[in-house]
Chain A
Amino acid sequence: MPIFHERRQLVTPGDLLAENDYMSGENTYKENGKIYATRVGLFDHDEKRIFVVALKSFYLPMVGDTIIGKVQEVTLGGWIVNIRAPYVAMLRASDALERPVRPQRDDLPALFDVGDMMIAKIVACDRTRDPLLTVLERGLGKVTRGQTLEITPTKIPRVIGKKGSMITAIKNETGCQVIIGQNGRIVVSGKTPEDERLAIMAIRMIEQEAHTTGLTDRVTEMLRKEKGEKPVKEVTENVAKET
């Protein structure tokens, strides 16, 4: 059972990856016993499966995903939410209020208005219908503070790290709360804008260097360095302003 590439080698769509006994995994397809790549990415495999780690892709909604959405429109029975996917999601009023909805009485824009960000979970989604959301679980709901940033969804696992090591490192070093949506949106909220800036810098660094190893240590190191230098810089700036 031949394999035609080395692990972590860059492949392009249509590249022949392997033959016969392997199963076709992520970003590959099988035809006549041959496995080809469907996306630009890094080749990889285990005992059974051949797969490609895509370098760029977009979010596809899956049931159970926690995502960060932005309200696009308020309708009579609920909200239309942009979830950074090819499909817009619906959040019905009954999935946001824990009681029966009275369309005339309930003020939906007071809950979520156009432009509001929300942490939500996808409860239903298939080929024929647009995804449905809920905000009735713990940890879900409106985003009231912090900053959001967007990254390629394929890099989300890297931001979380093995058993959450990377995300814990960022949280500990910056003191920020970081909420990651599966759709590539991230909310960062900290005590000061400076903390948030540091956390965002770290995430951007992960995005840029997602393909390298030993990244967690480097990110921690970078954050410590930044934190150490910062007060000195601020002092000199303030002095410059005063004079």
Chain B
Amino acid sequence: MSQKKPEKLIDEKDIRYDGRKLNELRPVKIEVGILGNADGSAYIEQGKNRILAAVYGPREIHPKHQALPDRAALRCRYHMAPFSVQERKSPAPSRREVEISKVMREALEPSVFTEYYPRTAIDLFVEVLQADGGTRCAGITVASLALADAGIPMRDLVSACAAGKVEGRIVLDLNDVEDKYSDGADMPMAYMPNLNAITLLQMDGMLTAEEFEQALNLGVEGCKQISQIQKDAVRAKYVTAKETAPEKEEDEGDKEANE
């Protein structure tokens, strides 16, 4: 899987080098509740990104001095597997990973009712198995689902998505190549669709005020699309629960459903 810079990232017909339109997301596939030993978990494939998230808690906090008297401490670890990128990455947390852990925590914390569980910890682990740009956004999306799967009360699901500028055009959901080889901009954002609130907004590169607004609106649209996929993923886990809900008595056969 060697990476070369394509001649052109966007062709004359406004098609990107991987075949997407300017405002098109990469294909997203999400599964909820796939780890037996975690309290909540989820897995996402977004383009070539593959990310696992696991949630434990709320549980007793260790070390004790990290406990907050008025709310739960949300502890987040974003980590990339050594084999997740082209050149082996050292498994030790890098400066970048520590930073992303912090931003992810801050993007998710507004969605969680941490004040319900003072003096406890909610531990969140996001493991990137394969990276292809936009992992922090996919990480937030999947982490939010893992929190919901753990049965932790939340104000809203958080969905995240990037928008940016590639060869002078505003595009949605940049992948690694587009991010690396264009001198444009990359703007990841996280969004709570039902509350219409942005919980993360970062940018590197340069955008004019108009471009910024355009990118922001495009990004929010992307987040809304992802939000729908998130909800479908949660439903898929409980689909039998929903179908057997009506008052009728059911035969055996549709036993599975939730655990």
A interface residues, Cβ below 8 angstroms from B: 8-10, 12-16, 27, 29, 36, 38-40, 42, 54-58, 60, 86-88, 127-128, 152, 207-209, 211-214, 218
Contact = CB atoms under 8 A, between A and B. Distances in A.
Contact of B234 (A38, A40, A213): A40
B245 A12 contact: no
B241 interface: yes
A51 to B, nearest CB: 13
B118 A128 contact: yes
Contact of A12 (B234, B241, B249): B234
A40 B257 contact: no
B117 A14 contact: no
Contacts of A212: 244-245, 249-250
Contact of B151 (A12, A29, A57, A209): A57
Contacts of B155: 13-14, 29, 36, 38
Contacts of A36: 155-156, 194
A120 B205 CA distance: 61
B57 A55 contact: no
17 contacts: A10-B238, A12-B230, A13-B154, A13-B157, A14-B192, A14-B193, A36-B155, A36-B194, A40-B149, A55-B238, A56-B259, A58-B58, A86-B120, A87-B60, A152-B151, A209-B250, A213-B249
Interface string B230-241: 110011001001
B248 interface: yes
B151 A58 contact: yes
B149 A13 contact: no
Nearest to A214: B249
Interface of B: 39-40, 57-60, 69, 72, 111, 113, 117-120, 148-157, 192-195, 230-231, 234-235, 238, 241-242, 244-250, 255-259
Chain B interface main SS type: loop
A201 B60 CA distance: 32
A86 B246 contact: no
Chain A interface main SS type: loop
Contact of B113 (A38, A56, A58, A209): A38
A183 to B, nearest CB: 14
A9 B242 CA distance: 7
B69 A211 contact: no
B241 A55 contact: yes
B255 A56 contact: no
A55 B242 CA distance: 11
A159 to B, nearest CB: 15
B120 A87 contact: yes
Given A13-B155, A14-B155, A38-B153, A86 B60 contact: yes
B119 A87 contact: yes
B195 to A, nearest CB: 7
* Interface hub of A14, A16, A58 (most chain B Cβ within 10 A): A14
